[in-house]
Structure 1
Amino acid sequence: MTTPTVGEHPHGFDDLVAANKRYAISFPHGFDGIAHQGVLILTCMDSRLEPLEMFGLRVGEAKILRTAGGRLTQPALAAMVMGVHKLKVNRILIVPHTLCAAASSTEAQLRDSISELSGVDAHGFTFGVDPDQMGRLREDVETVRTQPLIGPFAEVGGFLYNVETGLVDRIC
């Protein structure tokens, strides 16, 4: 398998811009940016996950953050603080998922794989992957819960989404 090169898609971004124009016709105007259900979800960038739908939420009801593996990063933590204090977030869900590529290898294995696929040395890059998905989830939840700008102001839970059933299990 080779990595796609720039310009490989025959239409560039044209198909996506055209789809956006269709979307804009029925776009729900007038949202204020507040998380109206008080929810913030940190989950994976995997396209099998639909964070709003999997929790019965709609546009305007939650803030959504996505990272590889649903892993807590410094920018995600900063967004959580902003969400809690500026956007009425009072419930934070951290939701990795089953069959996740970010939980299927170590940093070294992923660096080797990407270096081989791209032909560019990726050994100085940090991806944040870890095969101990449940340990990582517990660690991330504890980090958020003990953050003084979040913990006293929001409930924090760790969940695992099953990509084969669509169900979530509360882990911590």
Structure 2
Amino acid sequence: MPENVYILIFRTRPSLPRHQTIKGLGRDAPQEAAEMPHFLSLVDRVLSSLFKRPEPHPPLPSMPSIIPSTKFFSSSVKSDFEAANKKYAATFNEAHLPSPPRRKVVIVACMDSRLDPAKMLGLDLGDAHVIRNAGGRAVEALRSILISQQMLGTREIIVMHHTGCGMQSFSDHEFRSKIRKELKEDVDHMAFLPFSDLRQSVLDDVSFLRKSPLVLDVPITGYVYDVKTGMIEQVEDPVESESEPSSP
């Protein structure tokens, strides 16, 4: 590309053409573009992204620094995964498994890498549907739960949150501000579903599912998984527990 021509691609600015060419911006670009402050900021942003390694993101409250890009690691992960899959496929003998889960249960859990629902709950391949998202939030999992129940016959739901969850470290407002600052995008229409009270978040999700007209009247149990001990603890609403009839 000639040094005095840059092509800028605008993906989120409908008022500007998708491709805009600016000529005459060479080594003295800042001086020559002084009369075009709007384009200058765009040029600076594009050139910074092209020729400089991104600065690390500032950490969220109580959270470690976030890696700004996976491009530096994707090739090694790709080769590792492909090699591991070859070993897995070489001894694969589960082609007989049906699509509906054998134990007719759907588990909604956090995406945290320290959680392995199959190991912690003694599940085998084909036993359950496991739906994972940030925080293990039921609202976000509703689409999958509906398909799981109506198309594949699951008849029980487990909600699994955990200690040390990153969703407790920020608010919707803080995260929206972060996205606005770093990605230059407005995500005010999105709910990221953070929470401050771990046990209450489980109760809220269980209550949401029980009250939803889209969810069948099936057993729904909420748990907190302790990442330090590996133990799960059931979370029950004291009001609902008191209202339940005692066993004879």
Question: Structure 1-normalised TM-score?
Answer: 0.85
1:41 match: 107
Aligned partner of residue 11 in structure 1, secondary structure: helix
**What per-residue deviation string (whole Å, max 9, x for no partner) do you get for residues 16-60 of structure 1?**
122112111122221111111121110000011011111111110
| Equivalent AA in structure 2 for residue 156 of structure 1 | I
Structure having greater relative contact order (Cα 8 Å, sep ≥ 6): 1
Contact 2:139/2:208 (<8 A) preserved:
no
Distance (whole Å) between structure 2 residues aligned to residue 91 and residue 128 of structure 1: 24
Contact 2:158/2:223 (<8 A) preserved:
yes
**What per-residue deviation string (whole Å, max 9, x for no partner) do you get for residues 97-136 of structure 1?**
00000122212233445666xx324652542212133222
2:175 match: 110
Distance (whole Å) between structure 2 residues aligned to residue 38 and residue 65 of structure 1: 14
**What per-residue deviation string (whole Å, max 9, x for no partner) do you get for residues 70-117 of structure 1?**
11234x11211221222231110010100000122212233445666x
| Equivalent AA in structure 1 for residue 130 of structure 2 | I
% identical equivalent positions: 30
Contact 2:163/2:198 (<8 A) preserved:
no
1:73-92 superposed matches below 5 A: 73-74=139-140, 76-92=141-157
| Equivalent AA in structure 2 for residue 103 of structure 1 | Q
Do structure 1's residue 19 and structure 2's residue 90 form an aligned pair? no
Q: 1:32 to 1:128 in 2, by over 3 A?
A: same
Distance (whole Å) between structure 2 residues aligned to residue 48 and residue 15 of structure 1: 20
2:205 match: 140
1:5 match: 69
State which of 134, 137, 142 in structure 2 corresponds to 1:71.
Answer: 137
2:220 match: 156
Question: Structure 2-normalised TM-score?
Answer: 0.61
Unaligned 5+ segments in structure 1 are none
